[in-house]
Amino acid sequence: MGRILIIAEQFQGKLKASAGELLSAAQQIGGEVDGAVFGPGSGDAAKELAGYALGKVFAVDCGCEYSGDGFAAAVSDAISAGGYDFVILMQTSTGRDLGARLAARHDGAWINDVIGLEGSGADVVARKPLFAGKVISSVKFSTESLKVLSLRPRNFDALAASGASAPIEQLGGGTQCLASCTVIEPKEAGFIDLKDADIIVSGGRGIGNAEGYSVVRDFATEVGAAMGASRAIVDSGWIDHSYQVGQTGKVVNPQLYIAAGISGAIQHLAGMQTSKVIVAINNSESAPIFRIADYGIVGDMFEVLPELARQIKAARQ
């Protein structure tokens, strides 16, 4: 059996629940599992992580919020000394970055954005979308060196902490960081990340102009949804790129995706077609989005969205 290191995430000392997804993937591969968590606040988060039935937990603090080279350097000796075969992280802005750095540092291999695993040990086959999801590929490792996997969020059943306790080892003191992030400005209060969202509402050209996006924003606030956008309105400068869903934006996987005033270009569909339920609202009944929507309403999004928010809130009471 192999040895596996899961690298969990934390923000301001609080462990992210995706730790349970990492453990789930580790158990699928099989082997002895240790954990690591990085950054300021890693001490507190490591105590939480220690509750996940792990052999031991590394708390790594290099004196900055994030550094690809620094974090990799800080944990590299422990990876070699511990004889780890696998490192598993989340496919997030920092997880994808650190995973790539670690794979290269150990002259190993990297499979990212994993949505499923079959088999176990070194023969494990990972399912990974290509072309933003237009194709689902099966990928294998062919190496004795370090194998690094990053998991697309919300694709593995998150295991709960078992309450067991693992020893914690501190790492990172004295690490030289070549490129370091010292400040993270938290998003506005109430902001829901597209990747974490159960409900997403996205606006397209149907909003008419930049001001029209307020109908999407209002819906999101009322219902507690994350906000998305089509490439068309990002390219028109109506909304920031961080909201874009699709092939050159974010790939999302919510329970409910509401596409309002979006025609449904193939690069947009690639980013949201794995949503559990898709609702399309468009005033043109020939819009291609209706071909992949579970439910469609032909109508004016400026009338439908506020009414939908009102009725969803009423239904929840």
Q: Shortest Cβ distance from residue 55 to another protein (Å)?
A: 26
Single out the segment in contact with another protein by CB under 8 A; choices: 45-53, 157-165, 207-215, 299-307.
299-307
Q: Determine which residue in the list 160, 165, 217, 295 makes contact with another protein, applying CB under 8 A.
A: 295
Cβ proximity to another protein: between 166 and 308 the closer is 308
Among 57, 51, 43, 56, CA closest to 14: 43
- Token output for 83: 């004889």
- Is the separation of the CB atoms in 177 and 138 below 8 Å? no
- Is the separation of the CB atoms in 35 and 27 below 8 Å? no
Q: Determine which residue in the list 83, 163, 189, 316 makes contact with another protein, applying CB under 8 A.
A: 316
Cβ proximity to another protein: between 85 and 113 the closer is 113
Single out the segment in contact with another protein by CB under 8 A; choices: 29-37, 47-55, 81-89, 308-316.
308-316
Amino acid letter, residue 65: E
Q: Is residue 190 part of the contact set for another protein (CB under 8 A)?
A: no
Using CB under 8 A as the binding rule, the residues of this chain from 243 to 272 that contact another protein are 244, 247-249, 255-256, 265-267
3-state secondary structure of 280: strand
Q: Is residue 233 part of the contact set for another protein (CB under 8 A)?
A: no
DSSP 57-122: EEEE--SSSB-HHHHHHHHHHHHHHHT-SEEEEESSTTHHHHHHHHHHHTT-EEEEEE-EEES-GG
Cβ proximity to another protein: between 10 and 24 the closer is 10
Using CB under 8 A as the binding rule, the residues of this chain from 59 to 118 that contact another protein are 65-69, 72, 92-94, 96-97, 100-101, 103-105, 107-113
Using CB under 8 A as the binding rule, the residues of this chain from 125 to 144 that contact another protein are 125, 129-143
Q: Is residue 205 part of the contact set for another protein (CB under 8 A)?
A: no
Q: Is residue 168 part of the contact set for another protein (CB under 8 A)?
A: no
Q: Shortest Cβ distance from residue 228 to another protein (Å)?
A: 14
Cβ proximity to another protein: between 17 and 292 the closer is 292
Please report, for residues 169, 260, 273, 278, 295, the alpha-carbon distance to residue 291 in angstroms, rounded to integers and kept in the order given.
53, 14, 11, 10, 10
CA distance 121 to 139: 14
Please report, for residues 38, 41, 99, 185, the alpha-carbon distance to residue 12 in angstroms, rounded to integers and kept in the order given.
11, 6, 21, 12
CA distance 127 to 244: 24
- Token output for 315: 């239904």
Q: Applying CB under 8 A, what is the total number of residues that bind another protein?
A: 95
Which residue reads 């990972």 in tokens?
A: 126
Q: Determine which residue in the list 80, 145, 162, 221 makes contact with another protein, applying CB under 8 A.
A: 145
Which residue reads 């490192």 in tokens?
A: 87
Q: Determine which residue in the list 187, 209, 214, 284 makes contact with another protein, applying CB under 8 A.
A: 187
Q: Is residue 36 part of the contact set for another protein (CB under 8 A)?
A: no
Q: Is residue 278 part of the contact set for another protein (CB under 8 A)?
A: yes
Cβ proximity to another protein: between 56 and 249 the closer is 249
